[in-house]
Amino acid sequence: MSTLPLIRLYDSASVGLILLWPTGILYSNQAGGSFCLQPQAEGAFLPLVDELVAQAELLRQHFTGPKWRGACANGLDEETAQEVDRILGLSFVTRDLGVRVDRARLGESHEAWVYVEVPAQPENGSVCLERIPASQGILTWPNSD
């Protein structure tokens, strides 16, 4: 069991990104749909708010739709990774950051906890990040349970 401080994102209203860095802070969210997993990761949390695109709702609709029916806790497949990437491309915030699903970690991903790749962010290159090296992260949003 970790002794690091823990921030629970259970009541977050939208999509966010946990950049996986050694910050000394753990983040957790309820994930996996009806399985109600509570994964944790150390990093820095960045809300990804775009008032013009309801990404969290689009993700909820996908994971509660006929394919997953609110029970996605044992990894993602390529089709779902493509859908998450499509939804990320709808928002200028996530599109500008270049966030994409990490295909090497599909087996570790589930609803509301998807491993992503974040390309290096140059100075003055993004709406919300600057001078950030290429990173791994976790895309998270309110779980549909």
Beta carbons of 114 and 7 less than 8 angstroms apart: no
With tokens 């497949």, the residue in question is 77
Cβ atoms of residues 94 and 48 within 8 Å: yes
Q: Are 63 and 111 in contact (CB under 8 A)?
A: yes
Distance CA 33, CA 69 (A): 8
Which residues 6+ apart lie within 8 Å of 65 measured at CB? none
Contact by Cβ (8 Å): 45, 12: no
Which tens digit of pLDDT belongs to each residue from 112-127? 999 999 998 877 766 6
Owner of token pair 């699903």: 101
pLDDT in tens, 51-105: 999 999 999 999 999 999 999 999 999 999 999 999 999 999 999 899 999 999 9
| For the chain, percent of residues with pLDDT exceeding 90 | 79
